[in-house]
Structure 1
Amino acid sequence: MAHSERPAAVEVHHPIPITVHPPNAAPLAPAQPGPASAVQSIVLPNGQVVTGYPLTPAPAPAPAAARPAVSRTAVNIALGGIGFGAVCGGLVLLTSFIAALTAFITQLITLAAVTFGGWIAAQIFGTTSHRSGGTTINIRKAVIKRSHFHG
């Protein structure tokens, strides 16, 4: 090795550790809202200044349409079944009511026919000898001779 060749100077950099929450650090003043500059500088509690570009937050993904746990079709079928069951129960009651009403009306008509028919039969075939307002005619045996009536 010749004397003319000298080794190059080496620079050594030692990183300074940054503590996130130093125990005796003063609280940071809140930043005033305003337009963000292209380059931002932050003063750390130990006095060191860090300069850099602001990080823009990644856009949030569009929320997926919230799907219900049960499909609408299943809910509609279930509600239709409940409504159909309610209607069928009501129709059974309505049919029973109509049948009972028909039987009642039939009994009333039969009772009226028997009662009114019995009254009419008593009027026609009655054995009472005295009838008010009627005319009594006695028919005697008549003899008819030579086309003459002798009474």
Structure 2
Amino acid sequence: MTDLERPAAVEVHHPQPITPPPTTAPLVPVQPGPAPAVQSVQLPDGRIVTGYALAPAPASAEARPAVSRMAVNIALGGIGFGAVCGGLFLLTAFVAALAAFVQQLVILAAVIFGGFIAVQVLGTSRGRSGGTTVHIRKAVIKRNHFHS
């Protein structure tokens, strides 16, 4: 057997799983400022760990409410105005109805009082003494001139 007739060695490849990269924590934005000092701590087994010291959060950030007072006051004012709008609509409707009613009373008084005055002035003169009666049927009109 020659080299050409001999079977070639077979190589077997086993696939290697691809490991995903380690997940990292999301980045938190940091306010720019002076870089803190690097601190090193020696553990009991002799290893040294180096890193930055974390400063505690300021107390004022914890005491401050999440929503400003001005925003709360504006929201409450809007809710109050919305609640009052129905009452304001009824109030304007009431004032308009009251004005129409007073106007009708004034007109009624003027009609009644005017009718009373008209009866007094234009009423018949029967039974009254001292008046002048003019009979128009006896009048004579000559040349556009009235003679009684």
TM-score interval for Structure 1 and Structure 2 normalised by the shorter chain: 0.3 to 0.5
Give the structure with higher Rg (CA). Answer: 1
Which is helix-richer, 1 or 2? 2
TM-score, reference length from structure 1: 0.42
